[in-house]
A and B are shown apart, each in its own frame.
Chain A
Amino acid sequence: MKITDDSPPIVSALDRPNSYIGRSVPRPNLARLTRGRAQFVSDLTLPRMAHVAFVRSPHAHARIIAIATAAAAKAPGVVAVVTGAELAKVITPWIGVLTHLKGIKSAPQHAMAIERACWQGEAVCAVVARSRAEAEDACELVEVSYEELPAVTDPETALEPGIPVIHPELGDNLTFERVHVGGDPDKGFRDADAVIETTFHFGRHTGVTNEPRATLADWNEGDGRLTVYQGTQAPHMMQNLFAKHLGLEEHQVRVVTKDVGGSFGIKVHTYADEMATVALSKLLKRPIKFVADRIESFVTDIHARDHRVKAKIGVKNDGTITAWEIDDLTGIGPYSVYPRTSGIEANQIVNLTGGPYTCPNYRARARVVFQNKNVMCQYRAVGHPIATAVTEGLVELAAAKIGMDPLEIRRRNLIPDDAHPSSGPSGIKFEALSHHESLAHLDAMMNYAGLRAEQKRLRAEGTYRGIGFASFIEVTNPSAAFYGIGGAKISAQDGVTMRLDAQGALICHTGVTEQGQGAEAVIAQVAASSFGVPIERVRVITGDTDNTPYGGGTWASRAAGIGGEAAWQAGKALRANVLACAASILQAKPEHLDIRNGAVVDRDSGNERLALHELARIAYFRPDTLPPGFQAELVATRHYVPRAWPFAFTNGVQASYVEVDTDSGFVRLLKHWCVEDCGTVINPQLVDEQIRGGVVQGIGAALFEHCIYDARGQLLNGNMADYLVPMAAEMPDIEVGHVVTPTADSELGAKGAGEAGTAGAPGAVMNAINDALRPLGAKPLTGMPFTPGRILQALGRISESTPA
């Protein structure tokens, strides 16, 4: 069922009285956060807690000859100084490979470097002290002698003979290569009237979560239990990894995640310094706290998006796209990150390029190479921003070449809305998408014709505005096809345990987690609707492996679609249990009853028969009054995993309206639009806000963010003054519209929405800038971020030989 307005959808299968599905209910845990009562890991303290600071390699690549720790060990407040070799007795190394990425290879990574430091910032020694300040003081007293080794810092030459191989046992610096051919690309290019070739560059960047990574590990020798307070997106995954590498059973490990100050994928990976923190706790038998400071965050939080993509598109004069070709090269760090691997971003680019379009002729090659720079891995919208920018950049270059309007070329090539189920050029499977309806909605929302007229009028006055688009698809609700089949202990399923408490309130325990996107609120809304209570009576418990069903956590936009469905099913199951109990109390038939608004009611008339708190009182305290042989079960657990589709693809389209100051190269973002189809919308405001936040992150990629490395592998701008994140004054207002195409793979029909904004924004902004500058004969810009210097170069205002 499709609806093109923005009012909440009414989907009959979910029709519950007093339903919260589709309502913008404020999140229940927000008041606390406005009063300074959050509990971020950095806020937590435990008795005897000590702090760790790390001595980090100043070299991109160096052999560690010796580490002199005696002076540091005697410094005030110091508890211990521990080297990688000492720590290796307590924690085993890991290798970031999965079997479904054929041929991927990587070398073992230790919690702390032992023989060699392989990137500037890699930890080589740990100092534990009673305060972070004292630990840092003592770090300055640790003397490490290094033998500098040549560093691999250019992906373009990383595979050439004569370039050092970082891990000689692997043979070369190639982490992973994937090649794909779909349809007949050679014929497609031959059939084209025009072939446009270009090269896209995407600047390496990083998440800059407001709260840096933080871990508080507590090995209790008496209990034989490890409790780790960590701002992770995937507590059960971490539980498994801590147990595995410390030689413990999973039931000895508890991972607790309270408030998380932003993650966006940064905090879903395994970090050597966090593993070291946990190992130190086991070694020293006391709580150890690690909070990455901002400077070390820049050199240790995973980086992402460092890609060079040579790309080609074939197009006919009538606008038909005839072929796609990409050659992607990405330079990661010296290790593939564990356990998700650093091959996924490139793999996604191969999967997603050309995705929204009918043209099946597609050739792709992606190569991932090791470098002596910080590690790289999945960050919000993994691969999508690149695949989308490449695809949409090519589409608009093609349109410009044949003199066709950019919306028109899309209308002629996007997969028709009634052609589903269908496949993309890489073979990815689409259940149902709404590219055309979304495009029409966007056209109307932004008053495209009006903006074109305004652009033309202003151009005559010497003001250059541009309009750019990006159609996109997004991977959400991943099945086990994403990680499980490759051997990763990353759960694709998730569960909700729902119980009625002694006062008739609803307590929900869920394996999905909250980092600010509203996962808790969505679960509460679904639970309240499914079971039948006002939302004020719902409490959601997340982020605790001791107290939630086994689950995957929150990533790849799965919380609403997968966690939500488990909540929906659990609500139905608990309702059935409660009605069985009510029936026995009321001497009625369960099928004649329902639960609405916190009470058991007569299904047909809606008349209240029994308040839930009364039912709970009887079940818990007066079971002697229940019929013999009847046992009340006021708790139910249900799990859910998508089975019909490997991923629930969503679709959308974005537009960016910019003004380029051609004297200075500065870009002013006037407005941004996004139409998103994420299936059933549980909370429209939360979806809209995810889109907005995601768009701004994508704008960061397009205009501002870049981890700048020199040829020696030194990060030159690793602080917040020199690494530019989007701030309020430069950001536009963003208008969001909705189309609703539910998935049939769940009753809720909800797909994910967390990453869509980031997927489309860079491409839309790039296309807008190029649209603005096209009449000036500027060379199309294809290298992000689009700094004023690069724009001035494209305009010929400064010479191309100088760096911008």
Chain B
Amino acid sequence: MSQRFHEIAITVNGEEVRERVDARKTLVDFLREDLALTGSHVGCEHGVCGACSVRVNGAVVRGCLMLAVQCDGARVDTIEGVADTDEIADLQQAFVARNALQCGYCTPGMLLTAQELLGRSGVPSREQIRAHLSGNYCRCTGYQAIVDAVEAVAKTRAEANR
């Protein structure tokens, strides 16, 4: 029971995966190294930069602050899986059109975090967008292009839902 290595079963991007993991392995390292899902990135390993953001059971979390072993039985979605479902196609297109990414390192985390905000009702203000993204570090863009892209998508989706 109290051991270092554990067998876990996780549904990752809709596929059930069974692996043996060292308890100390973080979720993001497990995804990157054991499953070759390198779309989630490691930026700080102390929960500040947000580059490791992934979805666990539908909620965006820091992949560096969860252990893979904790995710036994969980549903994990990474940027690769979310991209393949076209769930954020409009957001990705808006990012590209607005150049809301430069080096792309923060982008998977930004997209998943923004998508969680857009999942709430109402059109967020620019201030609310900035506050929601305040835990996602970007060194390249200075954030304005990202806010512009998220705002544009929020408005378009609200229009479509009317």
Contact = CB atoms under 8 A, between A and B. Distances in A.
A524 interface: no
A26 interface: yes
B136 A27 contact: no
B142 A38 contact: no
Interface string B13-32: 00000000010110000001
A696 B103 contact: no
Contact of A264 (B44, B83, B139): B139
Contacts of B124: none
A68 to B, nearest CB: 26
Interface stretch (B55-63, B65-73, B92-100, B154-162): B92-100
A721 B135 CA distance: 11
B142 A210 contact: no
A656 interface: no
Nearest to B81: A36
Contact of B101 (A33, A37, A263): A33
B138 interface: yes
A729 B99 contact: no
A294 B45 contact: yes
A293 B139 contact: no
B83 A693 contact: no
A35 B103 contact: no
A693 B141 CA distance: 4
B52 to A, nearest CB: 11
Contacts of B39: 35-38
Query: Which of A211, A291, A697 has most chain B Cβ within 10 Å?
Result: A211
Contacts of B105: 38, 40, 210-211, 261-262
Interface residues of A, number: 55
B143 A696 contact: yes
A340 interface: no
Interface string B129-162: 1110111111111111111000000000000000
B97 A26 contact: yes
B35 to A, nearest CB: 12
28 contacts: A27-B96, A34-B95, A34-B108, A35-B92, A36-B80, A37-B39, A38-B104, A38-B105, A40-B105, A42-B42, A43-B32, A210-B49, A263-B103, A294-B44, A294-B45, A294-B49, A516-B104, A516-B140, A517-B140, A685-B99, A689-B102, A719-B48, A726-B143, A728-B136, A729-B131, A731-B144, A733-B144, A734-B144
Given A518-B102, A689-B102, 17 more contacts: A30-B104, A31-B96, A34-B101, A36-B78, A36-B83, A40-B41, A133-B25, A207-B139, A516-B101, A516-B103, A693-B102, A693-B139, A719-B46, A720-B137, A726-B143, A727-B135, A729-B131
Interface of B: 22, 24-25, 32, 37-46, 48-49, 51, 78-80, 83, 92, 95-97, 99, 101-108, 111, 126, 129-131, 133-147
Interface of A: 26-27, 30-31, 33-40, 42-43, 133, 207-212, 259-264, 291, 293-294, 515-518, 685-686, 689, 692-697, 719-721, 725-729, 731, 733-734, 757
Per CB-CB distance, the 7 closest pairs between chain A and chain B, nearest first, are: A36-B39, A516-B103, A33-B104, A516-B102, A261-B105, A696-B142, A36-B79
